[in-house]
Amino acid sequence: MSLPLLAELKRRRVFRALVGYGLAAFAVLQISEPVMHGLHWPESVLSYVVVALALGFPIVVGLAWIFDVNARGIERTRFASPMAAPGRARVALVLAGIGLLAATPGLTWYFLWRGRDRPATDLPRAASVAVLPFVNHSDDKENEYFSDGMTEEIINGLANVEGVRVVARTSAFSFKGKNLNVRKIGEELNVSAVLEGSVRRDGNRLRVFAQLIGVADGYHMWSKTYDRELKNVFAVEDELAAAIVQALTPKLVADRPLVQPTTASTEAHDLYLKGRYLWNQRTEETLRKAKARFRKVLQRMNLD
């Protein structure tokens, strides 16, 4: 690069524009990544953002060369010495080269080195599961609180198993009532398996059906139907959680119960599930009703 051209680049503040754009691009990436994961967008979206920002470097160089932003507004920049002005083709090649060189470090880091810097727990999906809300198949539709409560307790039980990644309740329940392909849900939540099922409650009888589906191929990894009495609900939840862990990673099955019984009173447990179901709806009326249910739980447990 000739000295006159280098001086012209400095005079037009091309390098300063590059630094400013680089800082702005870095800020955009810092904001984009958590937003993307929060919205459960696929990893490819971030790759498109990186490529788009990289393509912006040559554009910024070209705009900084052509235009000058000052107190008078945006003006077209003229050469300091028209007689020494280089050819347009040469200028275009130099500007494109500068833009590409500026974008190269970021692209290299993202596509070659970024994966190596990630924690090992982020790379495999071998022991990861999303527990979708169990469908209420009871004749009484108000028993939905029970199926939701059972789902939450299975999530909590699996979350305590070291080596198994479990999608949070909020993310899993965002798919409630949506008729989506299980493989698509698994891809969006970045898990290797998805658990779905149904609950039918008839008086003191309980039937729970659950199936674990592999995201990679869409085939069943495991499925089972449980017929129990309502008083054995904790045993059903523990069997379910243990079977899921066994199907995902056989060596991780714990010797202790995964779902701990919180009370010996079936009535207190039922009231607690109703209260939690109302609490999750987050309206003034449902919060008031939930509070009343929780008070009844405490009263019932004190009586026992």
pLDDT at position 70: 62
What is the model's pLDDT at position 85? 54
Same domain, 140 and 204: yes
237 and 137 assigned to the same domain: yes
For residue 169, which of 184, 154, 179, 190 has the smallest C-alpha distance?
A: 154
225 and 238 co-located in one domain:
yes
Domain count, the chain: 3
**What confidence score (pLDDT) does residue 145 get?**
86
For 282, the domain range is 264-304
**Claim: this prediction has a pTM higher than 0.85:** no
C-alpha to C-alpha distance for 11 and 52, rounded to whole angstroms: 28
pLDDT of residue 272: 75
- pLDDT value for 254: 45
Q: State both tokens at 75.
A: 């003006």
Note whether residue 24 is domain-resident: yes
Residue whose structure tokens are 């198994």: 164
Q: Look-up: residue for tokens 């607690």? A: 272
Instruction: Give the C-alpha separation, 46 to 35, whole Å.
Output: 10
Q: Average pLDDT for consecutive 10-residue bins of the chain (304 residues)?
A: 63 78 84 73 78 84 74 64 56 71 75 55 61 88 84 85 85 86 86 89 86 85 85 79 74 49 68 78 84 80 61
180 and 58 together in one domain = no
Per-residue confidence (pLDDT) for residue 303, from 0 to 100: 56
Q: What's the CATH number where 145 sits?
A: 3.40.50.10070
Pairing of strands 135-136, 193-202: parallel
Could you tell me if 90 and 169 lie in one domain? no
Question: Can you spell out the DSSP letters for the chain?
Answer: --HHHHHHHHHTTHHHHHHHHHHHHHHHHHHHHHHHHHTT--HHHHHHHHHHHHHHHHHHHHHHHHEEEETTEEEEPPPS-GGGPPPHHHHHHHHHHHHHHHHHHHHHIIIIIHHHHS-GGGS--TTEEEEPPPEE-SSSGGGHHHHHHHHHHHHHHHHTSTT-EE--HHHHHTTTT----HHHHHHHHT-SEEEEEEEEEETTEEEEEEEEEETTT--EEEEEEEEEEGGGHHHHHHHHHHHHHHHH-GGG--SS-SS----S-HHHHHHHHHHHHHHTT--HHHHHHHHHHHHHHHHHHHH-
pLDDT at 119: 44
| Residue 273 placed within a domain | yes
Output the pLDDT for position 124. 43
Q: Would you say residue 162 lies in a domain?
A: yes
Examine the domain organization and report whether 34 and 114 are in the same domain. Answer: yes
